Amino acid sequence: MTDEKVRAHAVVRGRVQGVLFRQSTLDEAERLGVAGWVANMPDGSMEAVFEGPRPDVELALDYLAVGPPHAAVERVETVWAPPRGESGFELR
């Protein structure tokens, strides 16, 4: 069922801070209409949560695998979970 709502929690590793990754992720999430948040982590990684229809969440995750032009993504670790009812998308 394509309308199935899902939640994906992703950790992005590589050169992902200081390259406008959070802002571009917010822009992409808003374009796709998914909810959640994105934050830089103390260890240099970036964390993001997306909630919405599975196809849209998968597109958001696809974006994380590439990122903005100056990013260098080494890997994305994703954990799927039941949605928690996130609304809107925010930078943390």
pLDDT at 54: 95
SS3 63: helix
The residues annotated as belonging to the active site are 22, 40
- Separation in Å, CA 28 to CA 5, 9, 31: 18, 16, 5
Side chain identity at residue 17, one-letter code: Q
pLDDT band at 2 (very low <50, low <70, confident <90, very high): low
pLDDT at 3: 74
pLDDT band at 52 (very low <50, low <70, confident <90, very high): very high
Residue 80 has pLDDT above 90, yes or no: yes
Average pLDDT along the chain = 95
Q: Which helix (H) or strand (E) holds 73?
A: strand 72-81
Which domains are assigned to the chain? 5-84 (3.30.70.100)
Q: CA-CA distance, 92 to 90, in Å (whole number)?
A: 6
- Separation in Å, CA 80 to CA 11, 27, 44, 48: 12, 22, 22, 12
Residue 29 has pLDDT above 90, yes or no: yes
> How much is the average pLDDT of 3-21?
94
SS3 34: coil
Q: CA-CA distance, 10 to 7, in Å (whole number)?
A: 10
- pTM equals 0.94
